[in-house]
Structure 1
């Protein structure tokens, strides 16, 4: 097993409108991107658990030309509201760092 932060080049959170948040997971190597994507380790259920949102509202897409995975999910509060602690969503990626990805040198 390997932690996502140890194989991804960049993991970042972004604002995706006032009611949605997105995360981009990017890789330097096509092989690393494909291994993570095909592992099935990053699921709506896992993201829902990490961020306490409904799994039915989590979307995960691959974007092979950029060796990237995008996660879309609802925000808990509207961006910019008094309860919002991170308007741009830049600091919300931390729970993704330690996702364990099945990994061995044999694959």
Structure 2
């Protein structure tokens, strides 16, 4: 069974303002996007579980023209706050790389 990291060209996360994080899944192309976009590992519930979030706080956006799926969710702590540990949100994607598809 392939892992997310096997079928995506890039998986990245980034700050989406001071209160949100966005994870981008760039598939290898339209065929890969179409083959994997509806897999159980890429549902809002699955992503929320992996990232220890409440599913109702996670937004899933498909961009078929770019073969991309985006997941956005609120930060646990505001960007730049005293308890915030990843100012740019650049490390938030790591728990998703080994999702089974």
Give the TM interval when normalised to the shorter protein.
over 0.9
Deviations 1:23-78 (A, max 9, x none): 00002221111111022431111122111111001011110111100001111111
CA RMSD of aligned residues (A): 1.0
Unaligned runs of 5+ in 1: 102-107
Q: Structure 1 stretches (4+) deviating beyond 2 angstroms?
A: 38-41
Unaligned runs of 5+ in 2: none
Question: TM-score by structure 1 length?
Answer: 0.89
Question: TM-score by structure 2 length?
Answer: 0.94
Q: 1:91 Cα shift?
A: 1.1
Checking the alignment, whether the CA contact within 8 Å between 1:79 and 1:87 is kept in structure 2 is: yes
